[in-house]
């Protein structure tokens, strides 16, 4: 007796009755008879499958039933294979479409990077003239000026410098996004780099009421670094430290041995801090933590993205930890230079 729980080909193949009629194996009245018989058996509590009903009623032999079911399975398999082929074809077409969209996107990205590079260079040329003439005026080289006039020129100089920094950031960003950020590694004294940065930022920190501190381990050796790019990185981290630290706070720059082969640089501030869950966002280009921050603190949000790209181009990584409301600590390591201290050292030894 057939049982309903057993997985037979008849269960897998739907609409067997219709198929048998279509194929001329049984007639329409045969099918009706078998269906009625099925109903009766169901009522008696001994249900049978349709195929079995046809066999029980001698409307179909067991062999005919098996071969009809097998044929149906073969048809089903070939239909499945067709569907698979169709699906593969569609996946193929969609992949090709996506690839061409990606290609277009990277062309557009390239265009954008070229545009940013060109426009930045175009902006820098007139700015160089403006800065040059401001310097001549402020130093009385073009005639004596009153203190008030000089003050006005000094304010203009500050703004011109801000503009210049912005343009330089954009140029560096466009180089980085074209994969053209070149790094010139040479033995470098990072303590000198840090001292120079601190000197250049002292007046800004003073104005803001933030104090700058340095702490160096004894006998820090030279490291392998691009002196200009690392100076830019340190300056940028200190700039952020000052910017995001309220009056009365401090920014500390430490240079320490991580081990014999690595020197660790840390820039720590006692400022507003960054929420833990938002730490990864701050390295994304043009990303500032919120729009009110943009208005309060200014800037473009390019700084940390460039910092990260420069540090990674040195084969290192920048990390950050922060406690909201208490400050932030940024740090990275640079490898000790294997060449002995010599005349090609970037910057002079202390
Ligand atoms: N030391 C810090 N303390 C608190 N938040 C910080 C600090 N440094 C960065 N951030 C957050 O990360 C964001 C991104 O920093 P990033 O230096 O890339 O941009 P920015 O300083 O806003 O602008 P830009 O550097 O272009 O002048 C900042 O806008 C700020 O929200
Ligand atoms: Mg910044």
Domain that holds residue 270: 186-335
pLDDT of 300 reads: 80
- 274 CB within 6 A, ligand 1: yes
Q: Could you tell me the two tokens for 331?
A: 């740090």
Residue 319 within any structural domain of the chain: yes
Q: For a ligand 1 pocket test, name from 176, 233, 239, 240 the mutation site with the most ligand atoms within 8 angstroms of its C-beta.
A: 240
**pLDDT tens column, 288-339:** 886 665 567 777 888 999 999 999 999 999 999 999 999 999 999 999 998 6
pLDDT of 14 reads: 60
Report strand pairing: 186-188 vs 262-269: unpaired
Residue 121 within any structural domain of the chain: no
pLDDT of 39 reads: 93
Specify whether the CB–CB gap between 134 and 160 falls below 8 A. yes
Residue 323 within any structural domain of the chain: yes
- 329 CB within 6 A, ligand 1: no
Specify whether the CB–CB gap between 169 and 302 falls below 8 A. yes
> Judging by beta carbons within 10 Å of its beta carbon (0-12, 13-18, 19+), is residue 90 exposed, middle or buried?
exposed
pLDDT of 350 reads: 38
pLDDT of 157 reads: 96
Q: For a ligand 1 pocket test, name from 165, 210, 286, 299 the mutation site with the most ligand atoms within 8 angstroms of its C-beta.
A: 299
The phi, psi pair for 35, rounded to 5°, reads: -65, -40
Specify whether the CB–CB gap between 119 and 127 falls below 8 A. no
CA nearest neighbour of 246 among 320, 323, 325: 325
Residue 342 within any structural domain of the chain: no
pLDDT of 92 reads: 96
pTM here is: 0.68
CA of 280 to the centre of ligand 2 (A): 15
CA of 346 to the centre of ligand 2 (A): 25
Kindly report the CATH number assigned to the domain that includes residue 238: 3.30.565.10
Angstrom distance (rounded) from CA 318 to CA 332: 5
- Provide the domain count of the chain: 1
Q: Which residues surround ligand 2, an ion (CB under 5 A)?
A: 240, 303
Residue 349 within any structural domain of the chain: no
pLDDT of 340 reads: 57
Only one residue has tokens 């032999």, namely: 61
Specify whether the CB–CB gap between 183 and 228 falls below 8 A. no
With a cut of 70, which residues of the chain have pLDDT below it?
A: 1-14, 290-295, 339-350
pLDDT of 223 reads: 97
pLDDT of 11 reads: 52
pLDDT of 339 reads: 65
- 271 CB within 6 A, ligand 1: yes
**Using CA atoms in the order 116, 121, 126, 127, what is the torsion angle rounded to 10 degrees?**
80
pLDDT of 319 reads: 97
Residue 131 within any structural domain of the chain: no
Residue 48 within any structural domain of the chain: no
Residue 75 within any structural domain of the chain: no
């Amino acid at each position: 007796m057939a049982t309903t729980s057993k997985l037979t080909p008849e269960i897998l193949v739907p609409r067997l009755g219709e198929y048998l009629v279509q194929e001329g194996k049984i007639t329409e009245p045969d099918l009706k008879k078998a269906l009625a018989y099925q109903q009766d058996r169901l009522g008696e509590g001994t249900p049978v499958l349709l195929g079995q009903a046809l066999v029980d009623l001698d409307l179909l032999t067991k062999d005919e039933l098996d071969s009809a079911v097998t044929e149906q399975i073969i048809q089903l398999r070939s239909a499945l294979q067709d569907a698979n082929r169709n699906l593969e074809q569609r996946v193929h077409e969609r992949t090709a479409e996506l690839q061409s969209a990606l290609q277009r996107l990277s062309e557009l990205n390239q265009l954008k990077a070229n545009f940013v590079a060109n426009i930045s260079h175009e902006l820098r040329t007139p700015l160089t003239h403006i800065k040059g003439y401001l310097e001549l005026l402020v130093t009385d080289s073009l005639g004596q000026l009153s203190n008030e006039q000089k003050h006005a020129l000094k304010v203009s100089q500050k703004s011109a410098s801000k503009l210049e920094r912005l343009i330089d950031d954009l140029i560096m960003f466009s180089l980085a996004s074209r994969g053209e950020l070149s790094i010139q590694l040479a033995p470098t004294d990072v303590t000198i780099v840090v001292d120079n940065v601190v000197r250049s930022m002292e007046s800004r920190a003073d104005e803001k009421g933030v104090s700058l501190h340095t702490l160096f381990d004894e006998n820090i050796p030279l490291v392998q670094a691009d002196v200009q790019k690392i100076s830019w990185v340190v300056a940028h981290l200190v700039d952020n430290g000052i910017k995001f630290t309220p009056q009365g706070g401090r920014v500390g720059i430490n240079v320490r041995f991580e081990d014999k082969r690595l020197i660790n640089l840390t820039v720590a501030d006692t400022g507003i801090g960054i929420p833990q869950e938002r730490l990864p966002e701050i390295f994304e280009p043009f990303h500032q933590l919120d729009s009110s921050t943009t208005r309060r603190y200014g800037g473009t949000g390019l700084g940390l993205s460039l910092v990260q790209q420069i540090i990674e181009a040195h084969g290192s990584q920048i990390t950050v930890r922060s406690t909201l409301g208490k400050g932030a600590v940024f740090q990275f390591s640079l490898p000790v230079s294997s060449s002995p201290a010599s005349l090609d050292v970037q910057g002079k030894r202390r």
